[in-house]
Structure 1
Amino acid sequence: MKKPYTIQKKPFIVPTTDGKIIKEHFGNATNGNSKISIAHMVAPPSWSEPFQTPEFDEYTFIIRGKKQFIIDNETVVLEAGQSIKIEKNTRVQYSNPFSEACEYIAICTPAFSMELVNRED
């Protein structure tokens, strides 16, 4: 009999070239779920991504460290224990310009995909 739950013991480790650690527990890469993605991430000091305008809502919960968000030209910094929801179709840049790594959980609805993230060059 199929169990009515799934325990994730082997998240998909997304290959990166910028030192960021991304472990997707549920989502497109892990189990083909396009409705939601849940990932545990660690952004190293001095890390940043290009601006993007995703076609998904993104929730971020900071576990340790700090993370900077530039949202429609407003700079927001979150610290451990804080969270944020950024609505889809919002221009945003994620970064960690600080000296300590930032560990956080990201949840995207629908799930993160390169086709929906719309990163700028």
Structure 2
Amino acid sequence: MAKFQLQRTPFLVPTTDGKTIAEHFGLASNGQAQLSLAHMKAPAGWSEPAQCPEFDEYTFIISGKKQFEIEGEVVVLSAGESIKIDKGTRVRYSNPFSENCEYLSICTPAFSPDQVHRETE
């Protein structure tokens, strides 16, 4: 039995806001519920509604900058920086900057659309 899982072709999550999401491990790509790992790209000017997810989310910025509004506090991360946001925390993600942002997202348990709880704008 193999002691590893190789992922050469991630699942491309359909989006309508210009952000690209390539899930390497997680519910959408391989049915794994414990953790999801996604390579993401948020275009300049991108934003999404605030949410209060049922999972912890770790973000590592590869290039560009990303803005986090966490319980009313604004945090901006740049390339090489990372953050962990605890489940149940109200957060709004955006890229109000002039350059694209590329980053990795790890969620525990795995990301699931029904556990995000996005607000309507």
Alignment of 1:1-121 (within 5 A): 2-121=1-120
TM-score calculated relative to the size of structure 2 = 0.98
Count, aligned residues: 120
Tell me the CA shift for residue 6 of structure 1. 1.1
The runs of at least 4 aligned residues of structure 1 exceeding 2 Å deviation read none
**Secondary structure of 2:51's partner?**
coil
Task: State percent identity of aligned pairs.
Answer: 66
**Secondary structure of 1:30's partner?**
helix
Tell me the CA shift for residue 59 of structure 1. 0.1
2:42, 2:119 → 1: CA distance? Answer: 19
**Secondary structure of 2:28's partner?**
helix
- Paired AA for residue 83 in structure 1: S
* Cα distance per residue 1:10-30 (max 9 Å; x no partner): 100000111101000000000
- Paired AA for residue 27 in structure 2: N
For structure 2, the 5+ residue unaligned runs are none
For structure 1, the 5+ residue unaligned runs are none
- Paired AA for residue 56 in structure 1: F
**Secondary structure of 1:89's partner?**
coil
Tell me the CA shift for residue 5 of structure 1. 0.7
2:2, 2:35 → 1: CA distance? Answer: 20
